[in-house]
Amino acid sequence: MKIIIDDKIPYIRGAFEDVAEVIYLPGAKTTPEVVKDADAIVTRTRTICNKKLLAGSTVKFIATATIGFDHIDTEYCAENGIQWTNAPGCNSKSVEQYIASTLMVLAERKHISLTDVTMGVVGVGNVGSKIARLGNLLGIKVLLNDPPRERVEGSAAFVSLKQIIEQSDIISLHVPLNMKGEDATFHLADEVFFSTLKRKPILINSCRGEVVKTDAVKSAIKTGRIAAFVCDCWENEPNIDLELLAMTELATPHIAGYSKDGKALGTQMSVQAISKFFHLGCDNWQPTGVELPKNPVIDINGAGLNEHEIIAMAILATYDIRQDDAVFRNNTTLFEQLRGDYPTRREFPAYTIMAKNIQIETLEKLKEIGFRIDYSQENKE
């Protein structure tokens, strides 16, 4: 048995070596010649798994260690008996952390009180549902838009995209990329979208680049139809529009979901899926060696601080988007390298807050966000 694995997938080395021939290659070097006699591929979004790659091969299973699967030609796979799997939800907590950091920075820069803000969440799946929950914890009024869910669950919890456009101060996009059909999201944010905005909102795109039309968002920024654009996902990656980059409030190289926790879970889901499909005996495999944070304990003395300041301090201690923004702007030609060599980022549960002089209600919110709380210093002088 032969398995081709993208060499940027972390923690996977050693998972299959006892049961298969394993070849690790950069995604760009996963060619038809390489996969011709392979049984399985473990990949990321940069490898397009279509007829050009797969025709005439012996590939029976494709596992992508990512939430998205628009790089897999699912119709071709179905027609040719190739099974595939993605890793839904694997990086949802990582994107939540990214959005949390974004909201803290925006509140500071724009002098916004989050309790006075309405946020529209477009796409309420594994990621969007966590963003909505985060917004509620922060006191934000949250509007939800998800037509597929609304058709199944009814309209009580959801609003139309028109309402999102008209009522939101922040719009955060969390939809899959669908090129066609009733729920098409390709260029969802186009000229019509921007022309009907009412409140000059901040737009955040951390789902797929092609969901936002580049020329349309540039025009919206220039004409003041939106207050700011935060962009993690870009059209034509890695060859992004540098004019748009210069116009963004915060810009990152498609790393919102790149926490070590999210990557490890995506790897785990892929390994277990292949094991079950081929009966390899490692159905319960789990990754090892996930790096600890450099500073896993966060000391916060809440004396003189309000709740927002305490929560912002905690969130930004785990991840400050401004650092990624600065690195990206100084290395605009290194999009792929910045993604492939992204440094260790751990999610909220990897951190313990050493709490002092913090109200119990605030500590409960921090626990709900995901932090561990050490109460031993609470109210000690």
The span from the CA of 338 to the CA of 335, in Å, is 5
Residue of 174, 187, 225, 254 with catalytic role: 254
Determine whether 174 is an active site residue: no
Q: By C-alpha distance, which of 249, 219, 203 is closest to 108?
A: 249
The structure tokens 């951190």 sit at 351
Report the Cα–Cα distance between both ends of the chain, in Å, rounded: 64
Q: By C-alpha distance, which of 140, 139, 204 is closest to 172?
A: 204
- Residue by residue, DSSP assigns 210-239 as GGB-HHHHHHHHHTTSSSEEEESS-TTTTS
- Residue by residue, DSSP assigns 43-97 as E-TTS-BSHHHHTT----EEEESSS--TTB-HHHHHHTT-EEE--TTTTHHHHHH
Residue 313: how many CB atoms within 10 A of its CB?
17
Residue of 191, 237, 307, 336 with catalytic role: 237
The span from the CA of 6 to the CA of 63, in Å, is 11
Determine whether 254 is an active site residue: yes
Query: Which residues on neighbouring strands pair with residue 316, listed in sequence order?
Result: none
Q: How many residues would you count in the chain?
A: 381
Residue at 57: amino acid letter: S
Determine whether 71 is an active site residue: no
User: Rounded to the nearest 10 degrees, what angle do helices 92-109 and 260-278 cross at?
Assistant: 160
Residue of 44, 208, 225, 345 with catalytic role: 208
The structure tokens 């025709």 sit at 55
Residues taking part in catalysis: 208, 237, 254
